Amino acid sequence: MRTEIRFSGLGGQGIILSGILSGKAAALFGNKHATMTQSFGPEARGSACSAQLVVSDEKIFYPYVTRPSILVAMSQEAYQKFSPDLAENGILIIDEDLVTVNDTNGQISPLAIPATRFAEGLGNRILANLVMLGFFSAATEAISPDSFKKAIPGSVPERFLDLNMQAFGRGHSYGTESAAERTRQIRLKA
């Protein structure tokens, strides 16, 4: 089965690293094929930026994401830009403090986490992407948390490894415990 995933946000939020870590987790530790492509150029350095990941049980030829079934949005601009492409019945995951969902037809019911706030609670907002990955892993089951835990070492600075693992764990436990409840709390604007 082919799963298309898009991670999006602002340049500097660690969006590309989210794509790399997810692809690495799937391809090296999850027994899957995974191809990651990324926005490149000025947009990766400050404005709406995204990383695309195709995960499949079979060899991947066409490497691009056209109709993602999972969209992770960590900024309003990214949400506005990328949510129209989300597949029907796709999963939208947002940082609830940074993204207001204004879906008019009520089709999209996002899974939400205050990832950046949690990261600040851990001492640094730069960890928000790892919090989000933990949540993503719990909420979608596209890539297992065990695979992520093997993928993170070597891909983040050694001296911040523990902090990154904590951030991942924070997002993951929040996801498993309360994703459903959180979802209900999102007020969809009519």
Residues lying near other proteins in the complex (CB under 8 A): 19-20, 23-24, 27-28, 33-38, 40-41, 60-64, 151
Number of Cβ atoms within 10 Å of the Cβ of 60? 16
C-alpha 72/C-alpha 42 separation (Å) is 21
Q: Shortest distance, CB of residue 120 to other proteins, whole angstroms?
A: 29
Q: Shortest distance, CB of residue 38 to other proteins, whole angstroms?
A: 7
Phi, psi of 174 (to 5 degrees): -60, -40
Q: Shortest distance, CB of residue 95 to other proteins, whole angstroms?
A: 24
Q: Tokens representing 68?
A: 């993602």
Which secondary structure element, helix H or strand E, spans residue 163, and what is its range?
helix 161-185
| Interior/surface letters 145-181, b for 16+ CB within 10 angstroms, e for the rest | bebbbebbeeebeeeeeebbbbbbbbbbebbeeebee
Name the DSSP letter for residue 85: G
Alpha-carbon dihedral 28, 9, 162, 135, rounded to 10 degrees: -70
Nearer to other proteins, 12 or 42 (CB): 42
Nearer to other proteins, 40 or 87 (CB): 40
Q: Tokens representing 121?
A: 């609670």
C-alpha 130/C-alpha 65 separation (Å) is 22
Nearer to other proteins, 37 or 166 (CB): 37
Q: Shortest distance, CB of residue 40 to other proteins, whole angstroms?
A: 5
Nearer to other proteins, 38 or 47 (CB): 38
Q: Shortest distance, CB of residue 160 to other proteins, whole angstroms?
A: 19
Nearer to other proteins, 9 or 23 (CB): 23
